[in-house]
A = this chain, B = another copy of it.
Amino acid sequence: MIEAAQGGDQRAIARLISHVADGDDSGRRIVGELYRLGGNAKITGVTGAPGTGKSTLVSGLITSMRSEPGRVGVIAVDPSSPFSGGAILGDRIRMGEHVDDPNVFIRSVANRGHLGGIASSTPAVVAALDGLGFAEIVIETVGVGQSEVEIASACDTTIVVVNPGWGDGIQTAKAGFLEIADIFVVNKADRPEVSATIRDLEAMLDIGPTTPWRAPVVATIATERSGLDDLWRSINQHRAHLEAEGRMEQVRRDRARHALVGALRDSIEHSVDAIGHETIEDLVQRRNDPWTLADRLLIEQ
């Protein structure tokens, strides 16, 4: 299955990614193996409030990325009920123009039991696509607070999408967007107030801390591909900056740490299920307590 997927067989990729996203034993073995083959994919995050046009923008980004050699993988993290566990398929439909491209793989992942986050399976799916040789990976997620922090630690370059008149500076700063944006996109730039919004963002960046990289503000009309070339140029400039500043090493270390935290979180339920009846009974009878037991279960390095 891995060999077929590495060869670009779409059905093999889809089956393999389903295994990995499920997080079952075979999925964990597969992603572990693929992780060791990876490390070369460029990972781009796209986040922002619902309705800002993220999916159309991602679709435009795919076109830019496909102008160069290499396969493109997209992970769309959808809000979903923890009860149904099902992902909304809207994004896949919106990205329809790439459906027939055998070098584009799009997967919606549900953020089961992890509201507002990037879905616990996202680091594993990223690692799998990376190990399969995908050159570009895009993660699209709805911005609702904590997801911004998570997407930033999972990506090389984080794009925050806003709309004209989308919000005053306080709103943007409050949502934590300033801290994590490597690039701001003002999408739907044919609407009024676009220059005021760009000015607001620039003013916020002016009063923010001085950093080696200042997030550019790019105006786009994703439905018309307007501004998409500027955005692609900004992404490549940010990548060059990371490499030139030696920041890439730190990004890779942070990502490895982040993936490890995720893998441990995923293991916990499984590991608690494997705990013997007597151990749980010790807790019920108050002969032991969960905090002492947790410290014993996690080997200190």
Residues of A that sit less than 8 Å from B by CB:
28-29, 31-33, 35-39, 81-83, 113, 115-117, 123-124, 127, 144-146, 149, 174, 176, 179, 249, 252-253, 256-257, 259-269, 271-272, 274-276, 279-281, 283-284, 286-301
Contacts and interface: CB of A to CB of B under 8 A. Distances in A.
A279 B123 CA distance: 18
B257 A261 contact: no
Given A261-B269, A300-B271, A39 B145 contact: no
A175 to B, nearest CB: 8
A283 B264 contact: no
A37 B274 contact: no
A284 B261 contact: no
Closest 10 CB pairs of A and B: A263-B294, A256-B283, A35-B289, A115-B116, A263-B290, A259-B290, A260-B290, A32-B289, A32-B291, A82-B146
B264 A298 contact: yes
A31 B289 contact: yes
B291 A145 contact: no
Given A174-B81, A299-B297, A39 B286 contact: yes
B286 A267 contact: no
A263 B82 CA distance: 22
